[in-house]
Structure 1
Amino acid sequence: MEKAVTHFILLGVISGLTKGVDLLPDGPLNAAVGGTVIFNTTLTPPEKPFLVVAWSVIINNTERPIITSTSSNITDPEYEGRITLYRSTGSLELRNLTLNDNGMYRVSIISDGGNQIKGSTKLKIFVPLSNIKVEVSSTDLVEFNSSVILLCFCSGSSLSFVWLNGSSEVTTNERVQLTDGNSTLTIFSVTHYDQGPYSCKVSNAVSEGTSDPVNLSISFGPENINLMLSPTQEYYVEGSNISLSCSAASRPPAQCQWFLNGVKLSDTGPELTLINIQESQSGNYSCRAFNNKTLRYQTSQPSAISVLALVSNVKVNITDLVEFNSSVSLFCSSSGSSLSFLWLNSSSEVIAIMTPVTPVTLQPLCYFCFHTKPFMFCPTERISGVNITSTDQTIEGNSVNLTCNGAGSDFTSEWMKDGSSLTLADNMTLYDENRVLSFLSLKKTDSGEYLCKISNAVSFDEAKYSMVVNYGPEDVQITGQSWINVGETLNLACSAASTPSASYTWSLNGIEISNNSAVFTKDMTELSDSGIYTCQALNNKTGRTSSAEHQLSVTEKAGGLSAGPIAGIVIASFLVVGGALGGGLYIYKKKINNTARPQNTEQDLHVYENTSVIYENTITP
């Protein structure tokens, strides 16, 4: 007991002297649990030993001694075996550190000449980090439709978190959020560029480490579709072999469907081989890639294949003639395709003079007739029975042909949309003498009323076709409260751009809670209603889905008290008032008693004098 009293008296003496030059470097000093720290002073060993070296620590605003060294050492029991004092410089080594060693450390030194110098520095103890791991809410994701949460877990204290995508640090933007001290990474509406690998780098003042990488599986595409022909040439001879290949960026790999002039073929797969091709197989070939995970399509630009039959068996039919008495019709026939004819008289080209003719019944040939002078006529059939037919379903992304059919000859075709001449967009082509309007990949803006007008020199006819492009759902949005009190009514509304209108399914934290309504309502909310609400929109026509998420927090209502707490407050108020009255009466009576009794001033002064004596005796060398 006497040793401890002396220890405290010496600390009191030292702390009461004038402060000198700082002995310790600026803090804080950082150290790990179980480790060692040395508080090095800035002093060099003096010629004569220091009279006093004293170390203490302030923890939770309470100062306690560590060691006081004069002619002997006084060590606090808690530090026995854990410290080494280097008395020549006043430095202190502290071992086997624990979290309880956090605090402000102070040293005071009195030299042989009686001068005192002192210093202080802060020590911070950290638990080294361990067991770093990353958990992912889901690794099976769909581009643009899915969101993902990555959680970083680690043991240790005062941790800092940094997320890495490969070797690059992840930064926040409108799709990427960091929360919970950066330990939680949330990515909304993922793209296939978000696949990772992701790792979590954790550090504190005494250690650092990085988790194992995590990759996300993100389904995307198809996109960047490409159609290749081999060999590539302007015309192909009947009997040739042609290979077509279709490729697209997609995960999982896309399924390929082939089309000729917008009409679906039975062939599937990324390769289409045409063997011994015939003239009837001429046309525009295209391929459509479909991803059965994302439910998305993409159609290639068409590639034209023109197949020609070789010219053969050319002959001219002629009969016996009498000069001045006969007329003649020359008929040239040949096998082959896409034929062009040129008439020669000896080596000179025959030039025909065009004259107006009266319409007659259509004949399959044009005649060159020679009388006193040459003339030519081509009979024309009137236009009739014009109609428009469509191929495939009018769904955004599909290939569709509008074909203008009609009877007649020598006609031209003209297309209009919504009452104006049709301007071809980048997804439209015309072929077969403008009879076929082909949409390579339908857009929602292609909806409208189409008119086909067929005309020739003697007549015309027209037909209309109203096309509605089914699309969506897209731009799914949820409106409603983000936070709400327990017991209040929750109203959330979901909307999406879609033709026809979408149907809706609601889920909370991944569990389905409602079907077939764009509005979700709950009259009496509970704390368990907090979480992420997901609205999934479905277009039954396109077969496609899209979703949106909404965060809701349900909290206890603040400010209201039930009857029980109110009664407790009233009772407590009465007790306080009663206590105050009783205390006042007691003080009044006490004052009267003290006035009647003389004060012991001498005894009080004696106490202070004794205290002064204690300090005087302590300071005397």
Structure 2
Amino acid sequence: MKRREGLCGQVLMIVLGFAFHDANGQLLVTALGATRVDTLAGANLTLAVSFSGAPDPAVTWFRGSLPIITWTVGSDVTPDVAEEYREVLRLERNGSLSFVNVPVGFDGDYEVEMTKSGLGTDSFNFTLRVFELFQNVTVTVLPDLIEEGSEQFQLQYGMLRGVVERQLWFFNGRRIAEGDDGSHYSLQAGSLTVREPSRNDTGQYMVSLSNPFSSVTLHLNVTVLYGPDEPRIQINPVQDFYVSGDSLTMSCQADGSPQPLVEWMFGGESLSDIRMGVLNLTRVQISQSGLYTCELRNQMTGVQRQQTVTLNVYERPQGNPQCSVLSEDNRSLRYGCQWSGGTPPARLSFPDFGDDSSLENFTLSVNASSELDGKIVICQAQHLVENGKCNVTAESPQYFLPSVRTDVDSDGKIVVSIRCLSHATPPAAVSWFRGGEPVTDGDLIGDDTTSLRIRHRNVSVLLLHNYTCTCRNPLGGRSKHVHLQEPSISNFSLFPHKDGTIVMLTWEVPPTSIVTGFDIQMSGPALVSADGNVSQSKGSGDTFRTILAKPGTARSGDIFHLDPKSTYRFRVLPRALMAEGQPTKARRIGPAEGLSGPAIAGIAAGIPCSLLFLLLMCGLIYLFIYWSRAKRRQTRYPVSRAAEKVTTTQTQTPHNLLPGAARSPPDYNRLRQTPSSLSVAPPTFVPPPPVRVATTV
């Protein structure tokens, strides 16, 4: 009897379990194996996953942010695979992603996303790297002849086949890392660049290449030619100035290989009677004052260097050199350098533009070019007592974004102000165009020409033309097209308060949209006032009505006194005076948020069906108990002890009781097994097949 009552209880538990199964279920995706996979090109592999908490979810695999394959687990429909992946990708029945003869280039980040309605969404990420074995690897250097002071030289490696995961460069046994010696070394995929090579860069270079399946090391000797170095001029004795009759010695030296030849120049003539770069001046005269030039030449490389020195009586100019750059006819640049005073005047020059120089005030006109954009131009000011310098940088107009502001003037007209301002040296001139035609009306353009104002009562008239602002100086110009837009909102969000009585709305406006105000609209029951009374508002609960107006500068709004038990929908309507733009998509808030119509209908239909089924099962259980008692009242015959022992042995206490005599939920997987797979004999009583009532939320 106890066994039969226990069986009835189990049946009841099964019914209740089917009725409320998955009420608190949650979809969960996990990886079966490593999430970072390295493989050789041409291999087969699988990014294996498993899921739990939901049956037959929808599966989407992404490569980066691009969906490449979609399918619903258990569906008879063929998985939808992106065309360029169909020869390589296969989707397994459990949602795992398999690769067939994976080629090079299929490496990257892969993400699986599974979704089940009402049970949420879960995802998992994998990283796949595809490699090849190294074959026929070589290393070369460009150019063949490397000179000190050249722009750079580069060591490159090449190979017939192979994918490099890690490259290591070494110089004379010391590893080279990115950023070593400032910007002297630059590491790229497949090469090492040595910028501004010097004699110290002569030596042995080694590159080590590796991936998880292969490695190789190569060596190459590099020689850098150098010299002559910057000439060093020494004067003995060292004095601030020299007077007629003084004697002095000037020497010019520089390192180089081979040793450079030295030649002194004065007044455009060569002083060929000197030896080893030493110039002896005995009882100097005024006619010997001026610039002396030391020229050095490397016979092997042909590189020449020179250095000059001035011998004169000198008085220091006042202050410091001053540099400037101006625009000439918006076509050329006029560089200026000034250092007034001194006896004689200081000599000024721009070495970047040649040997031209002047006294006290030096100006130089240069044709504008892209090479001058952002270049620091230095002015050298030479004087025996003290040398000075200054610098100036000419820049083309920098990148800028036009700003658009919308107002309403006292006459009720829409005023759109467009401002374009770009940093530039010399300052840029701003010009305006409307529909391709220049704007010359002084009432529309501001005093500094950087702003344009247009007015009209009708926003559609303001949208008829496109405007362009151009900022230009001799180094170039930048133009920006301004396409005014009708009132619109680019982004709209809703943030409810945790108690449900307040909601904050935020929105964004496109930069060129003409907006003078916003109407916050709502559908749903009337708002509750602060004293608890229902406020009066026009419109029914299913139509949108304006509850709050905001100016054109607003980007958020707060709605108070909401009923936490009611459902509301909000949207924002942009305006340009009386013209209305497209309202935003409505956002919903309320306790029923997230329940669809079919879900509500399923709940409504499932509850009475479940109650009716429970009543039916209770009636069957009552009839079974009544029949058992009636049969027990019949005449019983003696039973042998062996039979009693068998009966006692078959009647066992259920072993799945929880503490407090509570029974554990039935094992639905065990109920689906065949009789041969059960651990004990199945019960003799077979209950009616259970009916599962599922509610989708």
Structures share fold, TM-score greater than 0.5: no
Q: Which is greater in Rg?
A: 1
Q: Normalization by structure 1: what TM-score? A: 0.34
Structure with the larger RCO, 1 or 2 (CA within 8 Å, 6+ apart): 2
Q: Normalization by structure 2: what TM-score? A: 0.32
